[in-house]
Amino acid sequence: MKVIVVGAGALGTMHAWHAVQRGHEVVHLEREEQARGASVRNFGLVWVGGRSEGAELDTALRARELWEGIATEVPGIGFRASGSLTVVRTEAERAVATEVAARPDAAVRGWEWLDADAVREANPALGGKYLGALWSPHDAQVEPRVTQRALQDHLGATGRYTFLGGREVREVVGENAVRDDRGELHTGDRVVLCTGAWLGGMVRELAPQLPVRKVRLQMMQTEPLDVPLTTSVADGDSFRYYPAYQGLALDRLNAGQAQHPIASEHRMQLLLVQRRDGSLTIGDTHEYDQPFGFDVVEEPYAYLRGVVEDLLGRPMPAIRRRWAGVYAQCVDTTRVVHREQVREDVWLVTGPGGRGMTCSPAIGEATANEMEL
């Protein structure tokens, strides 16, 4: 078959990947010269441990398996099976970690409670003060700024993949074609629209009741840290954010330990990942009410610096860059993604929220199955 894929972020590129892997021809259109949205403005985390039981966890585990296989073919994505540590600094946070580590599904997730000495052994860069951490061995990393491009280059070598950047798709024509802003018609046997946070225009016309919203976040990247950060790192506020940690201990944490005012105002958690060049990607915030502010707010960055330095036990490297990004999230946050057949041979796939980098291989695989590729 010939498959038209619109959108070259994480979702779109993985849909193209599965189509080519199954022997089909792909024409891949992207309105920018290369994707510039949330797919490159993220941590590059393959985050399995905190996913909700059921479809979300199943999707994340399958995606983790697929990422590892993809990495054997495309080492340029920078896949590292590093695991993650959710570091706790209070007794209430420790109660959450130990409670979830004792649950029946902890074995599936690989959760394990580590005391402070075991944390330092697992990640010697964490030289600060803390009580311990929840270890999640299935979590991994890729390089967000290069992954899509590396995958596209690999697909191009097959001779069955054509990437067309700088082509904004303006309309779906009939049941299996799209027209771009140059007036060129692209016809295939199947069309997949992976339009990310672009929810207006053509997308609204095709799906006027689309149950998806936008979310804005702020992040930053430092100069290289002079020691390896052997795992990705989260703080105890992640328990409040990820649904997998719900339970009596979390209820007690929320009732008895107020979140820091800045973290609460900006709906924050710490996520900390080291890039291949040694730099640290640090975030993040969550803003849901539109219109979003156009400026980048300094208070969250100052707060995150303090948390990072507490965990490292040393000054954080100088900040190299700051940015904001916007991603699409299903209004019903228990849903992994919104997948809708909007024409006979046209599918719209959007709204994975912060799961996009983690789950995109499995989401693309599921769409390919539904489309009977």
247 HSE (CA, 13 A, CB side)? 17
Alpha carbon distance, N-terminus to C-terminus of the chain: 8
Pairing of strands 132-136, 84-88: antiparallel
Burial category of 282 from C-beta neighbours within 10 Å (exposed 0-12, middle 13-18, buried 19 and up)? buried
* Pairing between β-strand 112-115 and β-strand 2-6 as defined by DSSP bridges: unpaired
| Tens-place pLDDT, residues 1-19 | 999 999 999 999 999 999 9
Tokens of 68: 């590892």
The first and second tokens of residue 94, run together, are 């420790």
Write out pLDDT tens, residues 298-314: 999 999 999 999 999 99
Confidence of residue 243 (pLDDT cuts 50, 70, 90): confident
Q: How confident is the model at residue 144 (pLDDT cuts 50, 70, 90)?
A: very high
Mean pLDDT over 356-368 rounds to 97
pLDDT for position 38: 86
Give residue 59's pLDDT.
Answer: 98
Q: Quickly state the pLDDT bin for 141 (edges 50, 70, 90).
A: very high
Q: Whole-angstrom Cα distance, residue 172 to residue 178?
A: 4
The Cα–Cα gap between 210 and 203 comes to: 9
pLDDT digits (tens, 9 = 90+) for 181-200: 999 999 999 999 999 999 99
| Cα 126 from chain centre | 24
- Name residue 221's amino acid: Q
Residue 230 contacts residue 82 (beta carbons within 8 Å): yes
Amino acid at 131: L
The first and second tokens of residue 251, run together, are 């209820």
The string of DSSP letters for 239-270 reads HHHSGGG-SHHHHHHHHHSPPPHHHHHTT---
Query: Mean pLDDT across the stretch 333-360?
Result: 96
Amino acid letter for position 318? A
Q: Give this prediction's pTM.
A: 0.96
Angular region, 8: left φ>0, alpha ψ -120 to 50, beta rest:
alpha
Domains observed in the chain? 2-41+146-211+334-370 (3.50.50.60), 84-137+212-330 (3.30.9.10)
pLDDT of residue 39: 84
